[in-house]
Chains A and B, each alone.
Chain A
Amino acid sequence: MTATANLATRLEGILGAHRVVAAEAELREYAIDGMVPGAIVHPASAQEAAEIVRFAITEKLAIVATGSRSKLDLGMPPARYDIALDMTGLHEIAHFDPGDLTLSVDAGMPLRHLANVLSEKGQFLPLAVPCYETSTVAGALASGIDSTLRKQYGTARDFLIGAEFVDGQGAPCKSGGRVVKNVTGYDLHKLLVGSLGTLAVITRLNFRTFTLPQARGGHLACFSNLEGASSYCDAIEKCGLPLANLETLSPEMVALTAAALRETNAEFAGHLDPAKWCVCASFEGSEAVVPRIARDLQKLASETAAADSEILDAASDAHLGSVSREAFDWLRWASPSAALFRIVLPQSKPGDLAALLCVAQESSLRSALLVRAAAIIYFVLLAETEDESALHTLENAAAGVFFLAGAGQGHATLLHAPLKLKSRVNVWGPKRADLGMMQRVKHSFDPQSIFAPGRFVGGI
């Protein structure tokens, strides 16, 4: 009997044969950067998930909890990968109090289905993340990937109010609660956000929900250069217009966005000029507020010498918003070898952005840049081949990106790259001063390091 078959047999002994899969074709679907698990387990409850965790502890096996598996290439591949714990079988809404705007939902609940349920009560969860149509709620949270609505609603840490999870000792634990304001005990649930499953297996999440806005709107302004686009964004920030999203696209990113829009076959009435820097704004509110914001943006665009600007109809804004939300996904595959960075810099200055583009130019690489909510930069370097020469070029350019991020008092993460490149650079950027504290936290949750070992910062 092979090791895989043996593992599957023992897992079947715990949860039954119908919950365990070890067929090679299916195992490959759970691969992380080419690493394939020994078995896939489908728990149907938190208790079953805990049983598998306890088995893994006893057997010293490594577990990666999965949802829709749309973002498993974030971080490094795990150092060990014995069991893929597929959490999509936990998909119920445990509690929804529309009158309190609070929600408790199982880890594997798909975001799309959740949105449908909440919208029946005029509410929503502002987790507009890439791979939205397939993502699960816990996967979206654990990936830490940006929501395009973060400018208005914050990140998941701002509206996650509690969690239930299985810790690295196999114990079902909880943190927080189901009320919108709560300082009872340590906020351990906040640590789960963006943890890539390295601390615990999330089984349930509690959120505050939000009311769907009456109306939404969009606006597009194009500038002949980066400085113009930056002046416009500065002016928007200074007057404090409440926007749901504000994104600046480099000309190359405009072209990629236009192509992605075409692929959706959705009607888009706006004009994305691939020779210009474009600034896309989305906003929402009452029927009176939306046109007011649109008018103000038109005025600001005119005052900052936009080459072109237009108010988008609601449908066009929604289509552009969907494509922008998915940028992480389509940028990954925009060339045979793409290196996609997420960079955080203080109010991204034109000089900082120009320096990033210079890194690409000096390496003769195509690049595209998207600035979200003033400070989050998605920067992709696009190599046209997968050979060693391309990897070498990307490696050198990546070093330049990490250097610029550090020099600008910010930091960069390599979100996606060919595995060979990931193994040559530290995808999490230079070693951080708080790594020791993170290791202490990891050890507290997962003393035997059975959860996704090696995927996270500093080899955690």
Chain B
Amino acid sequence: MPASLLRELNSLLGSSNVLHKNEDLVLYEYDGSVEKARPDLVVFPHTTEDVSRIVKLAAKYNVPVVGRGSGTGLSGGALARGGGILIVFARMNRILELDLENARAVVQPGVVNLDITRAVEHAGLYFAPDPSSQKSCTIGGNVAENAGGPHTLAYGVTVNHVTALELVLPDGEIVRVGSKHGDTPGYDLCGLFVGSEGTLALVTEITVKLTRKAEAVKTLLAIFDAVDDASNTVAEITARGITPAACEMVDGWTLCAIEDYIHAGFPRDSAAILLIEVEGLREAVEAQAAAVEDVCRTHHAREVRIAKDDCERDLLWKGRKNAFGALGRLAPSSYVLDGVIPRSKLPQALQQISQIGKKYGFSIGNIFHAGDGNLHPIVLYDPRDPRQFENAIAASHEILSYCVELGGALTGEHGVGMEKNELMPLLFSDADFDLMRRVHDACNPDSSLNPGKIFPLSKGCGEIRVRKQAETLPAHV
């Protein structure tokens, strides 16, 4: 990395907003995935103009740029795979406007997801997308990955809650797309940029919709002695047209780990539980809760417990949302997968995951958004053992391939990043990639933004044309 670039960045942002020492950079070489990549420089912009100037400098020095929120991503999306400058948005963390009357918030990308809800809950509003990491993940990261969460079953993922974006393109141009109130004439550019994993532009301002809190809510804990019964319950809830606000499944092995850590009140002797939440008008909630309970009983639920108050409800959700942390106590590392299947195929998918785990000698935990078929198998492994790491990757590929075989997809909410880009040809043809590539190049012609993500790099995968990305990446990638 040229010394003059560091000097220019220091001059632009001040040295307190630039990291260049190895001991600092090492903190930014990982995210929540199993991937690693160390940036050459880390910078902390405070304004959109800062971002624009950084990008222009990067272009001048022909250095790649990668955006990053709080680094909780699970697909390596915020890792500087090709080195270069990592733009960390932690200091662009202001809520710029709250328009409660119109249920909108305008925020900078570094605002933490849950902080939006905290700022508006006094008015009976909240920000609906609720990833498990919502206490620490940023809205900018949510936009990049089109993040979901348990309650997106009823309320949709991030893209359904974004109406406008301010973007910085690789040449430093600042562009606004969408509008505060949505329904902008023209192409749905917000729909394109949300979920583009930072490969088209850097997002510097986001306008989000706020959702009104429901009148009533009930949280049910259904306990099963057989995983098949739990998964059949989910399939029937879907088939009956009951749409809970959330429908989460946790297997018995994972439950024990959670109980050891959180003491949420989950049973230690069950095969699986479903955590189901219904929301809406009081009358609707009563009817839905009764219908859900009926389906659970039909499928041999040992017990269906309804949280008696907010305290018990919060504890159950705390258990669910901290499950990954709980499993982390059991092994040196864990690999959280993210496949999607048609909901009617849930029972067979879980059976296959179990068999794949046995084949590779792993205990695979399952804690996932069952209601929308978004699986999160968790492989516990020791990364110091290269064979275990290779097997974890192989098991992951086998599971995701099976998801595709069932008519599903490679990722429901974590993104493709550098974790699954080589699997993309399982779903997409050369023509599909060509079009995606053209859209990519229309925004990011030199692949200077977040290179090495989404698109497969290996020539074996349908001979995908990745000339520009390959040129941008260092030889070792």
Contact = CB atoms under 8 A, between A and B. Distances in A.
A351 interface: no
A60 interface: no
B409 A193 contact: no
A32 B171 CA distance: 40
Interface stretch (B13-21, B37-45, B151-159): B151-159
Interface string A86-118: 000000000001111110000000000000000
Contacts, number: 238
B435 A183 contact: no
Residue among B148, B156, B183, B407 with the highest chain A CB neighbour number at 10 A: B183
B394 interface: no
B409 A240 contact: no
Interface residues of B, number: 86
Contacts of A195: 187
Interface stretch (A273-281, A305-313, A316-324, A339-347): A339-347
Given A184-B410, A434-B177, A289 B183 contact: no
A203 to B, nearest CB: 13
A175 interface: yes
The winner among A173, A182, A240 for most chain B CB atoms within 10 A is: A182
B118 interface: no
Interface stretch (B191-199, B256-264, B352-360): B191-199
Contact of A179 (B281, B412, B454): B412
Given A167-B435, A180-B373, A194-B188, A292 B283 contact: yes
B399 to A, nearest CB: 15
Contacts of A179: 340-342, 372-373, 407-409, 412
Contact of B344 (A100, A122, A289, A376): A100
B472 to A, nearest CB: 19
Given A177-B408, A179-B409, A191-B188, A185 B428 contact: yes
B335 to A, nearest CB: 18
A99 B184 contact: no
Interface stretch (B22-30, B234-242, B381-389): B234-242
A174 B183 contact: no
A185 B374 contact: no
Interface string B106-124: 0000000000000000001
Interface string A212-233: 1000000000000000000000
B331 interface: no
Interface string B131-175: 000000000000001101000100011011000000000000001
B247 interface: no
Nearest to A162: B409
Nearest to B239: A99
B411 interface: yes
Nearest to B214: A240
Contacts of A347: 101-102
Contact of B175 (A182, A184, A433, A441): A433
Contact of A211 (B187, B241, B428): B241
B413 A183 contact: yes
B432 A157 contact: no
Contact of A456 (B99, B157, B186, B408): B186
B182 interface: yes
Contacts of B101: 346-347
B1 interface: no
Contacts of A434: 175-178, 184, 186, 189
A444 interface: yes
A154 interface: yes
B340 A181 contact: yes
A295 to B, nearest CB: 11
A154 B162 CA distance: 13
Contacts of B192: 186-188, 190-191, 441
A154 B280 CA distance: 17
A375 interface: yes
Interface stretch (B53-61, B85-93, B436-444): B436-444
Interface stretch (A2-10, A125-133, A245-253, A405-413): A405-413
Contacts of A174: 428-429, 432
A25 interface: no
Nearest to B403: A179
Interface in B266-316: 280-284, 286-287
B145 A440 contact: no
A441 B188 CA distance: 10
Interface string A425-460: 000110011111110111111010000000011100
Interface in B321-372: 340-345, 369, 372
A183 B195 contact: yes
For A122, A187, A293, A438, the residue with the greatest tally of chain B CB atoms inside 10 Å of its CB is: A187
Contact of A441 (B408, B431, B442): B442
A102 B342 contact: yes
Contacts of B156: 154, 158
A409 B227 CA distance: 53
B468 interface: no
A445 B239 CA distance: 37
A286 B284 contact: yes
A400 interface: no
Contacts of A445: 435, 438-439
A187 B340 CA distance: 16
B188 A157 contact: yes
Interface in A386-435: 409-411, 413, 428-429, 432-435
Contacts of B441: 444
B442 A184 contact: no
B177 to A, nearest CB: 5
B102 A443 contact: no
Given A179-B341, A180-B373, A183-B195, A171 B435 contact: yes
A184 B196 CA distance: 9
A48 B381 CA distance: 51
Given A179-B409, A242-B281, A344-B181, A97 B374 contact: no
B187 A191 contact: yes
A414 B443 CA distance: 30
B466 interface: no
B416 A444 contact: no
Contacts of B184: 344, 411, 432, 434
Nearest to B342: A100
A438 B187 contact: yes
23 contacts: A100-B238, A157-B191, A158-B160, A175-B432, A177-B409, A178-B342, A179-B372, A180-B343, A182-B412, A183-B413, A184-B409, A184-B410, A184-B411, A184-B427, A187-B194, A191-B192, A195-B187, A288-B286, A289-B287, A344-B181, A346-B102, A375-B183, A432-B185
A-B pairs, top 4 by smallest CB distance, nearest first, are: A211-B241, A190-B191, A99-B344, A171-B431
Interface of A: 97-102, 122-123, 154-155, 157-158, 167, 169, 171-175, 177-188, 190-191, 193-195, 199, 210-212, 240-242, 285-286, 288-289, 292-293, 344-347, 375-376, 409-411, 413, 428-429, 432-438, 440-445, 447, 456-458
Given A183-B157, A409-B181, 8 more contacts: A155-B183, A175-B432, A185-B432, A186-B454, A344-B184, A375-B181, A410-B179, A442-B187
